[in-house]
Structure 1
Amino acid sequence: MAFRLQTLGELRLVDLSGNAVAFSEKGLIILAYLFVHPQRAQSRTALSKLLWDVVEPTQAYTNMRKSLSRIDSRQQELGHQFVEITASDVKLNVEAIECDAEGLQAPPHSDALIDLRALVGLFSHVFLENIDSTGAALSAWIEQRRAQHLSRLREALISAIPIAKSAQDIALVKDAALRIFQHDPDDEMIVSLLAETYSTEGKVETFRNIYDGRKQKLWGNLTLSPDVHALNVVKKVFEKQRSLFPAPKNGLGDALTASTQNGLKRPIPRLVLLPPAESPAGSQPLFPLANALIEDVTIALCALTSVSVVAPYTAAQIGRHSDKANTIAQHSISYVLDTRHSGRGAQSSLFVQLVYFANDEVIWADRYDMDNDSLAVQRRQIARRITMAITGEIERNELAREYFEQSPVAYHHYLLGQRHLKNLGLPDIRRARKEFRSALNHAPYFAPALSGIARTYSREWLITARGDAQLLKAAEKHANKAIAAGQDMVGGYRELGVAKMLLGGIDESVEALELAETLSPHYADVAADYADTLVHASKPGLALEKIEKAIELNPLSPDVYLWTAAGANYCLEEYEQALSYIERMADRGLANRLSAASWAMIGDQKRAKSFVRKARETNPDFDVDTWLTAVPFKEQWQKDHYRDGLRKAGF
């Protein structure tokens, strides 16, 4: 044929020599549309709606008539009739012109590798790459075609993977996967396949750079200090981005099988990182930092999707348990990272070993010096090596954040701040804030320290109970800074969610904590904060699901988890269940008012009044209406429900 329509990449008409032939853009779009239409024909009315859906139908039809007139004139000049134009329809003449996209519509070749090689050759550019459409109908059609082309390439790739044996074949598979990844970085099978391929080649860092480059491109339009509404944009980036887990080691065919199976899933193995045993006071001055280091690595590993990480609180409880092995078995833990702190002063070190619990096999062990200047590096090495031992090398760089290495002094202050935050007293909260600020003096964009400062302000608001909105505004400001500094770290989103909830921004709090959970699906404290916000959002059923997930991740739960679960059950009118959660709390006095309301709603007035007396002992000035005014609830029924229970109890 004398002419060929090029639709992949720049849309144009070319002659036998490959030279561009002048033709109107609208005419070329009509040709491209007819080539992929099943009947190779379409009515004038339908074509006018496709090309001019933003104008009145009469004007669109007039525009269509003029375009067809120009097409007809140009066909006569070229001496070739590409389309036959009638009073009602436009029909493609397939004998007069060919199209590059026909290769994407051809039936698959019997040899999957030949088919894939042909498609990769066509797929160097996307369909109608340079068409700048302002109409919704045309844009939707172009996107639909691109998605179909991508699907065709993906299907060919799936067929070729099992028979790709030679280095040339595997290179072809990788090339095809990269082309798909460039257009759809959220495709989990493709990400897993590329990770496996680059890992086999020993080029994990190369893939990490490609992956990060794509992520940075997606982040390009986000302002430095995102407001809450920017979280909607951020969420789209991260919803499907946590898929950097390694495929099975038996080859590309098994990688595909593991990534595409939709049937039964094996349970995710559980990992617990046990902190070092306590030492006599003063004998090991760096012991608290070793403990904080293990907790920090635990939280970092919560971002993994291939292993469930037991929360630090439960890990500490297990570590102190007299029958440690039985406790580990009870909680269905597969892997244990055991740690021991030894030596004194400059000779201090941390010994770690990873044990497969089922047969007590030591999978990996190492020793790390515990001097101040190397803490950040040790954190990176521990996180990396544990991840390699559990899931291979694919996620190691995801966990090795560069700024942990860039300022070891900042990291040291951050660990000290985290240590102070374990205590709820106001002096400790302010000491923690001082350490976090010291960290920022050495590294102004150190996201964990910014998140830590945000938490100190929200904690101070809760402890002082003065209703000082400036504290919450400061928490919100530092949370947003943490998000800007560490966009793929969970801390900023978690703290923003807590601050927004306390400020009464329930919907915004839900958005932030939903994103935090997406970033770190096994982080128990995030799930617990999310559950608390959902209670205030008047969604107690969903809140109960979240807090039960948090308790599963952190089975020896802190009181705040159980308190949140009790509150959710109260809202669901499950009063006995609410009381059972309160009964499990170490300090049940925190929930005296909720206990009183629950017993009153059950009808046991004697017990209700006993809890009223206990609550009055600690807070004699408590007023129901004042409290309900201060506590943010999204829907009035929830306030009325609490008021009803408290009034019945005798408040």
Structure 2
Amino acid sequence: MAFRLLTLGDVRLLDPSGRAVSFPEKGLLILAYLFAHPHRVQSRSALSRLLWDKVEPAQAFANLRKTLSRIEARQQELGHRFIEITASDIKLDDRPIQCDVVGLQRLASGDALSDLRTLIGLFSRLFLENIETTNNTLSAWISQQQQQHLTRLRETLMDAIPVAKTAADIALVKDAALWIFQHNPDDEMIVAVLAETYSTEGKVQNARNIFDAQKQKLWGKLAPGPDSHALNVVRKGFEKQSGILFAPLYKNKHRSLAKAADTGPKRTVPRLVLLPPVESIAGSQPFLPFADALVEDVTIALCSLTSVSVVAPYTAAQIGRHSDKAETIAQHSISYVLDARLSGHGAQRSLFVQLIYFANDEVIWADRYDMEKDSLAAQRRQMARRISMAITGQIERNELTREYFEQSPTAYHHYLLGQRHLKNLDLPDIRRARKEFRTALRDSPYFSPALSGIARSYSREWLITARGDTELLEEAEKHAIRAIAAGQDMVGGYRELGVAKMLLGGIDESVEALELAETLSPHYADVAADYADTLVHASEPRRALEKIEKAIDLNPLSPDVYLWTAAGASYCLGEYEQALSYINRMADSGLANRLAAASWAMLGNQRRAKTFVRKTRETNPDFNVDTWLAAVPIKEQWQKDHYRDGLRKAGF
């Protein structure tokens, strides 16, 4: 049995029987330093500077001589020599003594979960965390060691996540992430890991607390996350509906991030293609090789997973060059597409990546990574890890959601048909969509996505007809509440409730419901777009424009409704040319004829304004400014007056 030096937490020396023995405090620090040193040896001059950096070198040398004399005397008393002292150096003899941090240095089992378990056992406390010193050099060295330990734990955690399959594995991942989060709450990926593991365990409130704490840290009191009142808004709606049963999304709350062995029939493993990055601006050529290599790194990393089948880089490149990517992707039975684009100006470049679920063209995750030419090599590994982890978690989450959908394949089929019709902003297609959603409900009465779809169809009809028919909005609210009741963990119901509440004039309740929807699905472009629309009505056009630009960023081939919202926010800010620019980008700009007329009028171009007034009259001959503005919910009177002024100047 050997002596043992403990450095994690309180620094102590234990004898072979496990009892603490006295030893000079500076001697314990020297032992800790030598165990951390790769060569187990250090010069007298370096150690004197480490321990006494605030005194003259001669005094530091004298202090070190006295300390070494005390260490030598104590070693003789114990009958063991831990360090050898020469005229120039001090060297560790680790034969009679062990140290807790050596376990960190020796980890190389090849089993990420085993290594992670070992590290968690080691890192119950920080390295030398109770050492109090005014010595800057010593403090900096201790902090450096602590950060290295955190980095080692984080890297091992990232290696362990893709292979974590059982509930015990997920608990281990959560414990490691929580420990890192406590010491580095600004680490976004650790926040994401915690939220994912808590959600997997059914602890939604814990996940929301993590998000809310992060938002509070980032935003302070300017834009707090959804609180209990936001949930109560939804609950009030539930209580009005008698006889509605709450149906959880998953019957088994203990699903893991990487599912344990199924007992039922095996499902087809989803296929993922990572398309080669493209440049969305000129001048990105120097960055393209790096982006290509990064995507290939991610592809290779994901090939080790059993939960997803990754299309080989050569085939991915062929698909990327194909003129009709959608048809090619469908032919290869691909479920998920990772799209990467370079953007930015001058020396500022970023890589925008988005993960798309191909079946309904939904962006389920997106992120932007800044790129600096001088540090691309150093960034590559970290970025590849972050992207790989995000893809793994998002596909797993989406696959679990698909299980809910596929419990009723007929209902799901009609839901997808309804979604296709709902993409078109004309009344016949909106009503066709509603018919498909109702057909889905005949097969599965509590199919939450179909209930959400019906709610959206009523809201859309109210907007298109512009008659101020409150019955349509009441139907939208009723179906949104039913959708939430049928699928509490699904974002659709909260989103539609927010839209319906906004159109009914409950703007504050709408903001709260959509804030909650965004918390549940932060990368859902359509939610961000609806949130932006509500902020326009809440007389916060600046925030609205920021939010809709985020939605456009997430979904670059934006539907017309995004551009319509962006144009409305721009008009409210007095940016009339910008408003018209957004309208011109719409595939069918007829819906924005009123807004275009008002914008041209505010720019003083009466001829163009009259053109759009005439177009509006052709499709809606009964349009009346005062009736319309009385029906449209707008929080601040100045905004309503601004819109009325533009419409009147245009000739309405």
- Indicate the TM-score class for this superposition, using the shorter chain for normalisation: 0.3 to 0.5
